[in-house]
Structure formats: C-alpha cells, structure tokens
Structure 1
Amino acid sequence: MSEPLSILFAGTPQVAVPALRLLAGDPEHFHMAAVLTRPDAPQGRGRRLAPSPVKQAAQELGIPVLESNPRDPSFPEEVKATGATCGAVVAYGRILRQPVLDALDYGWYNLHFSLLPLWRGAAPVQRALWAGDRVTGATVFRLTKGMDEGPILAQSTLEIGPRETSGELLGRLSEDGAQLLAASLQAVSEGRAQPQPQPQGAYETADKISGEDAHIRFDKPAFAVDRQIRACTPEPGAWCLLHEGEGDQGLTLHVLQARPAQADQRAPEGLGPGRLALGKRAVWVGTKSEPLELLQVKAAGKKAMKAADWARGARLSGQAFCD
C-alpha cells in the first residue's frame, strides 16, 4: 500500500473547515503536514483578535499552523520544510505566487465553488444567486498563475433552491465540495488524475461584493431585489436607509429575509419603489413590479426580529420609505 499523501492545507473561513476535517479524518490516504491560514483578525464589537475558523479546527485536530505571508521571499522554503508534497486550497484568501506553487512536488489543488470557467473570482456563490442561476457546483483544479484558470480535475453540480441564501448554498457546497476535493487528491496520489484544460472564452467574473453593492435597489423588479437580498445574506448583509419622511437622513435597516408578495396575499397595490405599507401581520415595500414582503429585519442597534414585530415597535408613520 502506498504512503498517505502529505498535504499542506490552505484555508481561512468556516466554509473551508469541512474539507479540512474530512482530509484529517482519513489518515489512510492523507497526512496533514500543516495548515496555512490568515493571521488572527479583529472581530466583534470589541475588535479583539480572534483566530480564523480553520486555525481553530487545526488546533483542535493537532495540526501545525502557519500564518506567514506568502509574499515573503523565504516562504517557499517554509513550505518545503513542512514535508508536504501536495497543497490543498479552500478559500484561503491570498494569492500564491509561482515560486510557492513550484515548492510542492504534486502542486496545489483548489476547491472553487462554481462550475468553472463560470464565475471565476472571489464571490462565485453570491454572483450565481444574484444572476438567477438555477444550477451551480464545485470544481477542483490545479492552481496556475492565472486566476482560477488551471486545468480541471473534477466537478460536481448542485441545484440552487428557490429561496436559498448565499450562506445556505455555500454551506451545502462546502460539504459536497469536501468530498470532491478528497476524491481528487486521492486520484493525484494514485496517479489517476487527468486534469483537463478549461474551455476558452469570455466569462463573467465573480467580483467581491462590497457593502455598497449590498445597498438594496427598490427601483428594480421584485425578483431582482429578492435575488440581491439572498445573494448578500449573510455577508455583507443587504441594507437600506429607512426614512420617516422626506428630508431626514435615514437610519440603516438590514433586511435579513424577504420574498415577493404571494398570490394568496392581500398585498397593497400601486406601492411606489421603496414605499412601506404596514399590515397587522405583514410589512411590504414597493418595487418596480409587485411589492416585496419583509420577513426579518435588523434595525441599527437592535436585534434581528420579525418585520411585523419591528414595525409595530418602531411606530412608523404613513410616510415611511426605504432607499
């Protein structure tokens, strides 16, 4: 029987943890030489330094952790010193230069949450939801100099749920993708992998979604507003400015859950974009088409709550609107 493949795992957020745990839990095929992750970062209201989810999992599993900067000239030698022969990357968040890619005998393999070459870039799940894609998936490919352009080892597909948020979809993809990554690395170890070049062509890139991108545009049709909210949930969080009347500066209101008005509801008609209508058990906001029902919101300085409960407590005037 061949020796387990010695892996240097690079990842940072929670979405990378399922793959790390799966690989670490299969000592017959994989030896986790070390974990590479981003340095501790300020979190929460107190802005205290906290380890990444991947670092926490690695420490729990007893795997050595590296937090070095991949741009340091000495980093390729540090990589070699781990004894790893193969790199596995899941949402690490930093670019690995060619000397680093060349430091491991088998190379580096990335788990990307799209069906490459579709949605190359930092936010493939969010962009797929926002665009209205019905199917997405995961891809394992060998890292090369170009962004997400390396040859593909394996892909798996997943249908996007009609009310799914990016957080929910990413959670499913992280579990499905972990299995795909493990199978691909085992094929690399056994010499069975046959990477195939990605098709050539012009494809949209999945640019990172900024806080300003998450500012809700109610002058769009309800289906488009709904996609935007689901794509930005939970990060960076869809939001708007709530005004009690014309002329005030507005307060930030985060929309955590919403949906286009249902056919069996008595939703108000003729509601202008951004205008609020309050019912006993529902809160609607106007769009370019039918109203959107707000289901869960979080006002500035308040906890998340049902939109109807929030509206009753806020005692909104009949002139309230969002933009």
Structure 2
Amino acid sequence: MAGSEQRPGGLRIVYAGTPGFAVPALEALADSGHQVVAVFTQPDRPAGRGRKPQPSPVKQFALERGIPVHQPERLDEAARETLAGLTPDLMVVTAYGLILPQAVLDLPRLGCINIHASLLPRWRGAAPIQRAIEAGDAETGVAIMRMEAGLDTGPVLLERRIEIGERETAGELHDRLAALGGNAILDAVDGLATGRVKARAQPESGVTYARKLHKSEADIDWQQSALTIDRRVRAFSPWPVAQTRWQDKQLRVHAARPVMEASGTAGEVLKVDRDGVLVACGEGALRLERVQLPGKRPISGSDFANAGVQPGQRLGNAA
C-alpha cells in the first residue's frame, strides 16, 4: 500500500456504516490523506439490559474523531439534500443498513463504493461471513465494488482473499475481514482518485445468496453429519448460537468438534469424560467442548460431563 505522502489528497468522502465491522475502514480513511467530511449511520437503537438508546460503533468512532454525524431514518429528500450540501467526491458504504436510492448513488462525483465481506458473486446478501463457514468454503475475502441498484451486483474494483481457518468461527472471521477491508479500502480509493483502478463486471455464473440469519436456524438436527453440524456451530457463533435440548432444557452449544470415527443413534450421548460429551450424529459424532444451560454461564465440555449428563441419554427434541 502506498504511504500517506504518496496518496492523492483532497477527496471529500462521506462514509456510511453502522456496526463494528465498518469501523476499521472508517479509521483507515480518517487517518489517510483524504477528508472524511461526514458519517451517515443508523439512528441510536435500544440495547443492553436497560434498553437505553445506544450509538452505533461507527457513530462512537466518528464522534471521537470530531467527524460530523448524520442519522436519518430514511434517505429521503431531506437526507439527500444534506448529502448534496456536503459535495462529496465519493461515498464509501460498509454495512450501513439502508438501501441507497439511485438519486444517492448518482450524487458523488466518483459514485458510491461498498466493502462486501465475500468474493463476489459468491455470497451476495446479508450474511456472507456465516454462510461461507456454513457451506464449508475454503476461502473468502472482501470485495470492493461500485454500487448500483441491484443487490451486490455492481462491478468489482478490487478484492482481497484469505483462507478460512479449519476451526474458525464467524466472529473470528468477521474481525479478520473487517481489518482486511480497512486495508483494502485505501487502495481502492487511491485507485479511483488516480484512475488506476478499473472496475470489472461480476461473472454471471457462480452467484449465491447469503440469506439473513434467523434464530430458528439455531436448532441442531442430530440427523445431519457431524461435519455439517460443526460448521453450523461455528457459523452461528457468536449469534444466534447453535442449540439443542437436554433433559427438557435448552442447551446452547458454543464450541464443538467432529469425531468421524464414532457412531451411534443420532442425538445419543456416546461418551462422557474429561474431553467433553460425545454425541452421535447422522454420520460421525460431535464432541461438545463449550456449552451453556439456561441462566448459567458457558462451561467447558468436561464441566458439563460433571453436570449429570450420562451415556445413553438423548439430546434434541427426542430428549
């Protein structure tokens, strides 16, 4: 990456983002030779036990850096007038949470670009990090693309690839991709400023959609293979967290490991020892390494083994 003394200066950038994933890229732009003239982010939302309105991570960072913040509920005419008054050269969008109408896409001189957490056209949509792990993908990355009216269909300016770790969770991969996006965005912005980066159309083949996560997906189906369940446990960490039933109680599974040499009736507890609790799957078995009972803190699989679980018991709806 070019040093800041070589970076084309003077680009007026409006940044639109909301969650923690969007902070590294904003920080990189704020520390560059470009000018972040304003941040657009979601309105404060109730959070925590007190359900008090809380600022988004992007808003918190912007306020710390003295960057003006705008929080429209919708990108209506008033919001578009505010944006036009900022006379941006470029708008950078990362997990903003609002769809940009064509009038907004057309407003900046250099258009709008988006940091997306997958290698497009694979995993367009809301949950690309989780779906990549769930599908067993070997690699993923970030794509920086020009935005257009379609869902993640715009031409790609550049991409950065990384391997997905064999035991990596969605939370861990999220943090690595956020940092990767923060590094890549400067190359993309500099390339746009100089005309060095040219967008390429996405291939028409290989399109997949990463549908939004729902809590209903968290229930473990012990008829599935241990490899499939393991991927889902990792994909659903830290949310919504895979879960099953044990003695009519909800049991959340935070971490597990497949053991393909073992077998038994799906959902049956095969073994209980210091390594954890081994549960049979449709193919192979799953060792529960970190679990949580209602109202309790997460505990290790070995501690769960001492909590009364016994070989021959069943997990799941038949428990």
Q: TM-score, normalised by structure 2?
A: 0.92
Output aligned runs, 1:256-295, within 5 Å: 256-261=254-259, 269-281=262-274, 282-295=276-289
Deviation of residue 280 (structure 1)? Answer: 2.9
CA contact (8 A) 2:16 2:96 kept: yes
Deviation of residue 294 (structure 1)? Answer: 0.5
- Counterpart of 2:14, as a letter, is L
CA contact (8 A) 1:154 1:184 kept: yes
* 3-state SS in 2 of match to 1:198: coil
Deviation of residue 40 (structure 1)? Answer: 1.2
- The equivalent position to 1:215 in structure 2, one of 212, 219, 242, is 219
- The equivalent position to 1:64 in structure 2, one of 62, 68, 92, is 68
* Structure 2, unpaired ranges of 5+: 1-5
Instruction: Tell me the residue number matched to 1:15.
Output: 21
Over residues 165-210 of structure 1, what are the superposed CA-to-partner deviations in whole Å (9 max), with x where a residue is unaligned?
A: 1111111111112111111011111222211111123622011111
Does residue 90 of the first structure (1) align with residue 94 of the second (2)?
Answer: yes
Q: Are the structure 2 counterparts of residues 210 and 218 from structure 1 closer, same or farther at C-alpha, using a change threshold of 3 Å? A: same
Deviation of residue 45 (structure 1)? Answer: 2.8
Does residue 36 of the first structure (1) align with residue 36 of the second (2)?
Answer: no
Over residues 209-237 of structure 1, what are the superposed CA-to-partner deviations in whole Å (9 max), with x where a residue is unaligned?
A: 11111222211010000011111111222
Does residue 307 of the first structure (1) align with residue 305 of the second (2)?
Answer: no
- The equivalent position to 2:51 in structure 1, one of 47, 53, 71, is 47
Does residue 81 of the first structure (1) align with residue 85 of the second (2)?
Answer: yes
- Counterpart of 1:23, as a letter, is L
* 3-state SS in 1 of match to 2:145: strand
Deviation of residue 270 (structure 1)? Answer: 4.3
- Counterpart of 2:62, as a letter, is A
* 3-state SS in 1 of match to 2:107: coil
CA contact (8 A) 1:276 1:322 kept: no
Q: Distance in 1 between matches of 2:157 and 2:206?
A: 21
* Structure 1, unpaired ranges of 5+: 245-249, 264-268
Q: Distance in 1 between matches of 2:23 and 2:45?
A: 17
Q: Distance in 2 between matches of 1:270 and 1:110?
A: 46
Does residue 297 of the first structure (1) align with residue 295 of the second (2)?
Answer: no
Q: Distance in 2 between matches of 1:91 and 1:320?
A: 41
Over residues 241-280 of structure 1, what are the superposed CA-to-partner deviations in whole Å (9 max), with x where a residue is unaligned?
A: 22x2xxxxx22221110001276xxxxx543212224523
Instruction: Tell me the residue number matched to 1:167.
Output: 171
- Counterpart of 2:277, as a letter, is V
Over residues 37-96 of structure 1, what are the superposed CA-to-partner deviations in whole Å (9 max), with x where a residue is unaligned?
A: 111112223322211111111111111111103342222111112332211111112211
Instruction: Tell me the residue number matched to 2:182.
Output: 178
- In the TM superposition, structure 1's runs of 4+ consecutive aligned residues that sit over 6 Å from their partners are none
* 3-state SS in 2 of match to 1:171: helix
Q: Distance in 1 between matches of 2:263 and 2:119?
A: 41
* 3-state SS in 2 of match to 1:212: helix
Instruction: Tell me the residue number matched to 1:253.
Output: 251
CA contact (8 A) 2:272 2:305 kept: no
Q: Distance in 2 between matches of 1:7 and 1:53?
A: 19
- Counterpart of 2:267, as a letter, is G
Over residues 84-126 of structure 1, what are the superposed CA-to-partner deviations in whole Å (9 max), with x where a residue is unaligned?
A: 2211111112211111111211111000011111111011111
CA contact (8 A) 2:259 2:287 kept: yes
- Counterpart of 1:6, as a letter, is R
Q: Distance in 1 between matches of 2:313 and 2:56?
A: 44
Output aligned runs, 1:91-110, within 5 Å: 91-110=95-114
Instruction: Tell me the residue number matched to 1:241.
Output: 245
> Superposition RMSD on alpha carbons, in Å?
1.7
Instruction: Tell me the residue number matched to 1:319.
Output: 313
> Percent identity between the aligned chains?
39
- Counterpart of 1:12, as a letter, is T
Q: Distance in 2 between matches of 1:71 and 1:19?
A: 22
